[in-house]
A and B are shown apart, each in its own frame.
Chain A
């Protein structure tokens, strides 16, 4: 007992000189908490910085894209005079409605316009005047008359689109003579007159979503590229998802571990790092030139993008399959399930969320891919909306590239609007992926 007391005393006398463990810990505690706090701040800063960049990007694109969603229209007093239309044959053999399809609407447009501005004379001025209107205006008149044949030989009012230069001038309100604006002093005066008469109106630009590409910005729309993208993605997903998942399942669950499978594995990883333009060249050389598939087609684009997406899906799927606990496999094997049954009723469903994530990353990559598609001709100027996977088509990123390259001022807004559409598509795909994921995870 006495010895113990001595020891205790010795201990206490010691602790007056040196620090006890608790004191040591509490001293270091301050430092540790400070480190933790610092790390938290750095993390928060990184997140906020990234978020800020995204906000700036989206904000900038949106503000630039907004003009593309509006289009100025002008109300014209149109006279569908037979002589202007160049319809002179009133015989029964050729009905008027048939002749209306071939009539000279350009003449009607011009004559009607000159009547509205009787002061304008001289060829140069007259040409400037008619340049206020979109080149599409005569077709608007034609469609209007064919829709309402009763208007023949009558006066009416028709809304037609203004030219893109005029549209840009009205939207941006630059001072006259500003570089890049191709509106003259006289044209500005005529416009002012039209606006004063309340003949000019800004409307929502539906044709941006219903039309395909055009040389005229006021007529160009996104639908062709959007359809092209959807068709291409359809082909890509249809090929790469089953192939990728089957490949991953085979490599993980069935393949013997030998040199051949090691070699394949290395090559798959290498494939993921190949620059995409190489795949485009491959597509051109093999798929188009050797197999003779059509150029510019979503089918070929989809196959090329499949080559690109496949390694991403295989790698992600293998990781997901590896993460399935072996106890589940053993449980099923122990019950006498065959390897196939184990794989498809247990491993695959459990790995599905991970596989879907991989597939979405792959498809999102493919969605924004431009370079390989340039090589296989999807960069062509295509005015028709593609309706099948063998039609000529272009895709959104290529359309953005094409518009960004166009000199017309109005294409600036169109480019941003197309980017916005692409980002929206991406968002929709990611959202649906998240929903699919959570659905599989619940199971």
Chain B
């Protein structure tokens, strides 16, 4: 079998190469606008030193819906996601231009403290990264640093509801004081989601939240995302096209720092307009 597929793979790579020069000229196809946009990004460019990582991207993140960002490795989707809560500010050589708004408010102004922005736009990372503290302290941390509660009972309440929303409470309710790092990978990721929810953000950014997890844990996370969109706006970066198809309402396909195509998820996966998108979602490359 291997002997047969190998030459064909090379062929595909060649076509991808030829398409690449094509894309230089093309604009984003599909529909980047949302009826009810929570976040809007216009003409975003991101540079790492001299290297351009994001090239003139515009899109909307629809309110109380899941927007999936897909694309091959190194296409800039994580970089783009990190711009949405100014996580890239911590990288010295990173330069960002363009307009980013949250509820029609520019997030890259001097008046807006990134601390406040990150409380409103939470983030869940690729690798589960609980703090080396107890489960309780992990969830309570955000509420504590922002001074959201005035007494222990309120804090307990927040921790419990957050863990419940993340579907973790029943599994850990008897061991809230155990270290968060002692949980399984899937549980850790749900703990990180609970930790993010505890601050009651408006938007949750998820950077490949299930890529380090097994299929069962992934399924649980996906279910969770589906429930969470009732209350939160979600933008998710994923490598798995099935996952994007299952959880998202909108899909944006990134390629080499450009936004190739964006639209309703069912449209993207059934009738892709762009050749690159079609190649990617049919698994020919990427």
Q: Are A and B associated in one complex? A: yes
Asked if B125 and A327 make an inter-chain contact with CB atoms under 8 angstroms apart, the answer reads yes
> Range of interface residues on chain A?
20 to 34
> Range of interface residues on chain B?
20 to 34
Known contacts A330-B87, A341-B145: does B129 contact A335 (CB below 8 Å)?
Answer: no
- Find chain B residues with CB under 8 A from A341 CB: 145
A63 to B131 Cα, complex, angstroms: 52
A197-241 contact mask (Cβ, 8 Å, vs B): 1 or 0: 000000000000000000000000000000000000000000000
Asked if A327 and B129 make an inter-chain contact with CB atoms under 8 angstroms apart, the answer reads yes
B85 on interface, CB distance cutoff 8 Å: yes
B123 on interface, CB distance cutoff 8 Å: yes
A357 on interface, CB distance cutoff 8 Å: no
The segment from B68-76, B111-119, B243-251 found at the interface with A is B111-119
| Distance from A398 Cβ to chain B, minimum over Cβ atoms (Å) | 44
Asked if B131 and A346 make an inter-chain contact with CB atoms under 8 angstroms apart, the answer reads yes
Known contacts A335-B122, A337-B145: does B115 contact A257 (CB below 8 Å)?
Answer: no
- Find chain B residues with CB under 8 A from A256 CB: 92
A63-79 contact mask (Cβ, 8 Å, vs B): 1 or 0: 00000000000000000
Asked if B132 and A350 make an inter-chain contact with CB atoms under 8 angstroms apart, the answer reads yes
A132-153 contact mask (Cβ, 8 Å, vs B): 1 or 0: 0000000000000000000000
A327 to B129 Cα, complex, angstroms: 6
A322-346 contact mask (Cβ, 8 Å, vs B): 1 or 0: 0001011111111111100100011
Asked if A336 and B142 make an inter-chain contact with CB atoms under 8 angstroms apart, the answer reads yes
Asked if A336 and B87 make an inter-chain contact with CB atoms under 8 angstroms apart, the answer reads no
Asked if B129 and A336 make an inter-chain contact with CB atoms under 8 angstroms apart, the answer reads no
Q: Which residue of A lies closest to B126 (CB)?
A: A327
Known contacts A336-B115, A336-B199: does B129 contact A331 (CB below 8 Å)?
Answer: yes
| Distance from A40 Cβ to chain B, minimum over Cβ atoms (Å) | 35
Q: Which residue of A lies closest to B116 (CB)?
A: A336
A335 to B123 Cα, complex, angstroms: 7
* A:82-115 near B, CB below 8 Å: none
Asked if A257 and B92 make an inter-chain contact with CB atoms under 8 angstroms apart, the answer reads yes
| Distance from A124 Cβ to chain B, minimum over Cβ atoms (Å) | 80
* B:125-159 near A, CB below 8 Å: 125, 127, 129-132, 141-142, 145-146
| Distance from A321 Cβ to chain B, minimum over Cβ atoms (Å) | 15
- Find chain B residues with CB under 8 A from A334 CB: 85, 87, 118, 122-125, 196
- Find chain B residues with CB under 8 A from A346 CB: 131
Known contacts A327-B125, A330-B125, A331-B192: does B145 contact A336 (CB below 8 Å)?
Answer: yes
B195 on interface, CB distance cutoff 8 Å: yes
Pick from B119, B124, B131, B192: contact of A336, CB under 8 Å: B119
Asked if A333 and B118 make an inter-chain contact with CB atoms under 8 angstroms apart, the answer reads yes
B90 on interface, CB distance cutoff 8 Å: yes
- Find chain A residues with CB under 8 A from B196 CB: 334-335
Asked if B146 and A328 make an inter-chain contact with CB atoms under 8 angstroms apart, the answer reads no
| Distance from B83 Cβ to chain A, minimum over Cβ atoms (Å) | 13
A334 to B193 Cα, complex, angstroms: 11
- Find chain A residues with CB under 8 A from B117 CB: 336
Asked if A327 and B127 make an inter-chain contact with CB atoms under 8 angstroms apart, the answer reads yes
B167-206 contact mask (Cβ, 8 Å, vs A): 1 or 0: 0000000000000000000000000100110010000000
Asked if A335 and B119 make an inter-chain contact with CB atoms under 8 angstroms apart, the answer reads yes
- Find chain B residues with CB under 8 A from A335 CB: 118-119, 122, 141-142, 145, 195-196, 199
Asked if A336 and B146 make an inter-chain contact with CB atoms under 8 angstroms apart, the answer reads yes
Known contacts A336-B115, A336-B199: does B145 contact A331 (CB below 8 Å)?
Answer: no
A335 to B85 Cα, complex, angstroms: 10
| Distance from A37 Cβ to chain B, minimum over Cβ atoms (Å) | 39
- Find chain A residues with CB under 8 A from B195 CB: 331, 335
A443 to B133 Cα, complex, angstroms: 7
| Distance from A320 Cβ to chain B, minimum over Cβ atoms (Å) | 15
| Distance from B139 Cβ to chain A, minimum over Cβ atoms (Å) | 10
Q: Which of A330, A334, A443 has the most chain B CB within a 10 Å cutoff?
A: A334
- Find chain A residues with CB under 8 A from B125 CB: 327, 330-331, 334
- Find chain B residues with CB under 8 A from A325 CB: 129
| Distance from A4 Cβ to chain B, minimum over Cβ atoms (Å) | 14
A45 to B280 Cα, complex, angstroms: 60
Q: Which residue of B lies closest to A443 (CB)?
A: B132
Q: Which residue of B lies closest to A349 (CB)?
A: B132
- Find chain B residues with CB under 8 A from A330 CB: 87, 90, 123, 125, 129
Q: Which residue of A lies closest to B138 (CB)?
A: A331
A325 to B129 Cα, complex, angstroms: 9
A337 to B115 Cα, complex, angstroms: 6
Known contacts A330-B87, A330-B125: does B118 contact A336 (CB below 8 Å)?
Answer: yes
- Find chain A residues with CB under 8 A from B146 CB: 336
Q: Which residue of A lies closest to B141 (CB)?
A: A335
Q: Which residue of A lies closest to B120 (CB)?
A: A336
| Distance from B256 Cβ to chain A, minimum over Cβ atoms (Å) | 25
| Distance from A360 Cβ to chain B, minimum over Cβ atoms (Å) | 22
Q: Which residue of A lies closest to B92 (CB)?
A: A257
A346 to B137 Cα, complex, angstroms: 12
| Distance from B114 Cβ to chain A, minimum over Cβ atoms (Å) | 8
A52 to B124 Cα, complex, angstroms: 54
- Find chain A residues with CB under 8 A from B192 CB: 331
A234-266 contact mask (Cβ, 8 Å, vs B): 1 or 0: 000000000000000000000011000000000
* A:24-80 near B, CB below 8 Å: none
| Distance from B65 Cβ to chain A, minimum over Cβ atoms (Å) | 21
Q: Which residue of B lies closest to A441 (CB)?
A: B132
| Distance from B208 Cβ to chain A, minimum over Cβ atoms (Å) | 13
* A:177-200 near B, CB below 8 Å: none
A336 to B203 Cα, complex, angstroms: 13
Q: Which of A328, A330, A341, A443 has the most chain B CB within a 10 Å cutoff?
A: A330
A350 to B131 Cα, complex, angstroms: 10
- Find chain A residues with CB under 8 A from B123 CB: 330, 334
10 closest A-B pairs by beta carbon, nearest first, are A336-B119, A334-B123, A327-B129, A336-B118, A335-B142, A331-B129, A336-B115, A337-B145, A341-B145, A338-B115
- Which A residues have a C-beta under 8 Å from some C-beta of B? 256-257, 325, 327-338, 341, 345-346, 350, 443
Listed A/B pairs (21) with beta-carbon separation below 8 Å: A256-B92, A328-B131, A330-B123, A331-B129, A331-B130, A332-B131, A333-B87, A334-B85, A334-B118, A334-B122, A334-B124, A335-B122, A335-B141, A335-B142, A336-B117, A336-B118, A336-B119, A337-B142, A341-B145, A345-B145, A443-B132
Given contacts A256-B92, A330-B123, A337-B142, 4 further A-B contacts (CB under 8 A): A330-B129, A335-B122, A335-B199, A336-B145
